[in-house]
Amino acid sequence: MFGHFLSKDDVRYLRIINKNGVEKISMNEAALPQSTVHIAQADPDGILLVIHAGAGNRGKKDTPERRAQVEQDLNRALEAGYALLEQGAPAEDAVCAAIRVMEDAPEFNAGRGAALTSEGIVSMDSCLMTGVDGEVGSACGLTTSKNPINVARAIKEKTKHVMFAKPGNDLLKEWGIELCDSEYFITPARQESLREAQSNGDEWEKHGTIGAVARDSSGNIAAGTSTGGITNQMPGRVGDSPLPGCGTYANNDSVAISCTGIGEAFVKEVAAHQVSDRVLYAKEEPIEAAKAALDGVARHHGDGGMIVVPAHGEGAMVFNSEMMNCGWKSPKGSYVQS
């Protein structure tokens, strides 16, 4: 995912001695990275689509030309999903449409252009959840599915199960999934990233996991996330994106959330579900709930961001990293940033 671990040089720690003389080290709350918030404007119960395509720090490959392409892709994704919301389609239709556009764009770490594992192949994960019924579909370790979000939806709607790991091509064809050869997914940029990661011994390179959350004209919300993981990851590694409650979650009584960042930290924090719980039980505002969850992610030495659409009110794009590729669209207007 698009993010990086925070080292002990990035934060300050408190040394605490309890009554038994046992030393404990914890992060100084004042040293937690500050979260940036962008509001996704919307009528209280109106249609709204919010998307992201990764959060982290800017690097040498983050050129003006690449940022312009990213913004163009974000706008295309917003247009695809929002057009369905305007037609009265359910939130999950808009979420999947927006994600498919980004999966097809090689700039992002999902579908074509996904990160490569240590074996030089893709291993893609996805998740889709609907807030109206709490139903969810999740897929891990995909290597041939052109649009991994379609696999998550098929699992949700065509099986009694929640998660599949490495479903075979025969089953994918039975579900109507379009398949591609491995060469389709591999781009020169990702091959270069893998070479650099292996020569530097660094697997925590920046990437652009993608996601979308939406509220439809019936007031229902949905969330989806799709990722290629991290460059040079060990075969079999799974992050937060396909795990309901960690990187993806939706509940009509609270919020829809999609996360991006260092997956291990989001899993340890159960970040997406935490946001929902804070809104539902602690009656926190979605923005404050998201900021609190990201503070927890930082305590696990991770950074990143999340997009949030509540059952009622405006949405938000919240991140504690340097930047997050994201955007929103509603009758109130539209916005993208990269």
The strand order across the sheet containing 221-227 reads: 163-165, 136-142, 124-130, 221-227, 210-215, 48-56, 323-330, 333-337
Output the pLDDT for position 29.
55
CA–CA distance, 288 with 279 (Å, rounded to integer): 9
Please identify every residue annotated as catalytic. 209
CATH assignment at residue 212? 3.60.20.30
What would the pLDDT profile of 192-224 be if each residue is shown by its tens digit?
Answer: 999 999 998 665 555 579 999 999 999 999 999
How far is residue 198 from each of residues 112, 245, 253, 276, measured CA to CA in Å?
21, 32, 45, 38
Asked if residue 4 belongs to a domain, the reply is no
Asked if residue 89 belongs to a domain, the reply is yes
Two tokens, residue 70:
């990213």
Asked if residue 7 belongs to a domain, the reply is no
Answer whether 108's CB lies under 8 Å from 327's CB.
no
Indicate the number of domains in the chain. 1
Asked if residue 5 belongs to a domain, the reply is no
pTM of the predicted model, to two decimals?
0.90
Asked if residue 8 belongs to a domain, the reply is no
Output the pLDDT for position 206.
52
What would the pLDDT profile of 279-319 be if each residue is shown by its tens digit?
Answer: 999 999 999 999 999 999 999 988 899 999 999 999 999 99
What would the pLDDT profile of 7-56 be if each residue is shown by its tens digit?
Answer: 434 433 333 344 454 444 444 555 688 899 999 999 999 999 999 998 87
What is the extent of the structural domain holding 164? 13-337
Output the pLDDT for position 4.
45
Residue list for the binding site for substrate: 237-240, 260-263
Confidence of residue 259 (pLDDT cuts 50, 70, 90): very high
Answer whether 298's CB lies under 8 Å from 286's CB.
no
Residue list for the binding site: 237-240, 260-263
CA–CA distance, 296 with 64 (Å, rounded to integer): 33
